[in-house]
């Protein structure tokens, strides 16, 4: 069977399309959701920053102090939470593909 150039390009396009579709599916499945709520001793902390150290992965807490973001990182990572007037919070996590749910309480900084 002899293929002309147009048939060959058409066949190649199919395989390239399938390759990219498989890569997108793989990437979507490998993401971990990290979520939770941030508060101090009195109330929730809307606007608190939550992120993985050394990455661009993170978010800010909503009006109820809740947050949720996805990351493709796996293994050991360091989660950081900051909010003005409070001591920073740091926690080492081991991400293995399962969702992570946290309840984080920040300590208020007193005049030292």
pLDDT band at 23, cuts 50/70/90?
low
pLDDT band at 108, cuts 50/70/90?
very high
pLDDT band at 47, cuts 50/70/90?
very high
User: How does the average pLDDT of the chain come out, rounded?
Assistant: 88
pTM of the full structure: 0.72
Tell me phi and psi for residue 110, to 5 degrees: -100, 160
On whether the CB atoms of residues 66 and 35 are closer than 8 A, the answer is yes
Parallel, antiparallel, or unpaired: how do β-strands 75-82 and 89-95 relate? antiparallel
pLDDT, mean of residues 11-15: 76
């Amino acid at each position: 069977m002899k293929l002309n150039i147009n048939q060959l390009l058409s066949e190649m396009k199919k395989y390239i399309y399938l390759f990219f579709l498989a890569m997108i599916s793989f990437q979507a499945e490998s993401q971990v959701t990290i979520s939770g709520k941030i508060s101090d001793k009195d109330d929730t902390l809307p606007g608190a920053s939550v992120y993985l150290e050394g990455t661009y992965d993170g978010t800010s807490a909503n009006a109820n102090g809740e947050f949720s973001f996805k990351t493709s990182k796996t293994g050991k990572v360091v989660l950081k939470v900051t909010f003005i007037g409070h001591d920073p919070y740091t926690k080492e996590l081991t991400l293995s593909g399962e969702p992570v749910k946290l309840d984080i309480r920040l300590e208020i900084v007193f005049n030292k």
